[in-house]
Chain A
């Protein structure tokens, strides 16, 4: 157990739908990072939050949004889902300094049918 909790582990939904992925960071970590891993692709950085505020944005689609709540858990909202959104979505947490490495959760596997 890495200390980073992601729910649900698996999600199957239809095109056009909206889903919410949840992440609870490791105790004491203020930053939450979201990554997408499509089939045979590397980890694509989506977005980072630090203590409730958006800190950095990567290749995140406009149909996707995220937020971090006062208790530091984060949610990634994916809307108007397309087949190509099927992927593993990882959440990672850290102290805000990437040089010490992030701690990743086990991921949410999203399948859009």
Chain B
């Protein structure tokens, strides 16, 4: 049941450049999307979210873009920093349903 897919298991970028992490979903009922960040030996931490009524949400260096027609969202990190190196999970949920679906994660490595 892969309703949320992150097709890139890993991504490597240079410090200061842009990191773009992608996520696709199949369930058109999803109306809220979230990104979580996970360091080794820690639980995932909430990073940023976006409602389906928006197409962009920005928080500092992090911006999430949503393309509902393509059922695609992306997370942009600008500029990337070595401390951003972690696994990033995309997640989706639908209203009044607490069954949040997660992607498999993308391991981001930011090289100094």
Residues of chain A at the chain B interface (Cβ within 8 Å): 2, 4, 31, 33, 35, 40-45, 48, 50, 55-56, 58-59, 90, 92, 96, 98-107
B32 x A99 contact (CB < 8 A): yes
- Residue B25 at the A interface, CB < 8 A? no
Interchain CB contact under 8 A, A96 and B104: no
C-alpha spacing A92/B38, complex, angstroms: 13
Complex CA distance for A43 and B41, rounded to whole angstroms: 15
Question: Could you tell me which B residues sit within 8 Å of A by CB distance?
Answer: 1, 4, 6, 9, 32, 34, 36, 41-46, 49, 51, 89, 91, 93, 97-105
A102–B107 Cα gap in the complex (Å)? 21
Whether A56 and B97, one on each chain, are in contact in the complex, defined by CB atoms closer than 8 angstroms, is yes
> Chain B interface mostly helix, strand, loop or mixed?
strand
Contact among B6, B45, B93 with A104 in the assembled complex (CB-CB below 8 Å): B45
* Bound-complex Cα distance A50 to B97 (A): 12
Contact indicator A42/B45 (Cβ below 8 Å): no
Further contacts, 17 of them, CB under 8 A, given A102-B46, A106-B43: A2-B45, A33-B100, A35-B102, A42-B105, A45-B99, A45-B100, A45-B101, A56-B97, A98-B34, A98-B93, A98-B100, A99-B32, A99-B49, A99-B51, A101-B36, A104-B44, A104-B45
Task: Report the Cα distance A58→B3, complex, angstroms.
Answer: 13
A2, A96, A101, A106: which contacts B34 (Cβ < 8 A)?
A101
Cα A55 to Cα B75 in complex, Å, equals: 30
Are the CB atoms of A98 and B32 closer together than 8 Å?
yes
Q: Can you sample 28 A-B contacts with CB below 8 Å?
A: A31-B98, A33-B100, A35-B102, A40-B9, A40-B104, A41-B104, A42-B4, A42-B105, A43-B91, A44-B102, A45-B99, A45-B101, A48-B98, A48-B99, A56-B97, A98-B32, A98-B34, A98-B93, A99-B32, A99-B34, A100-B46, A101-B46, A101-B49, A103-B46, A104-B36, A104-B44, A106-B41, A106-B42
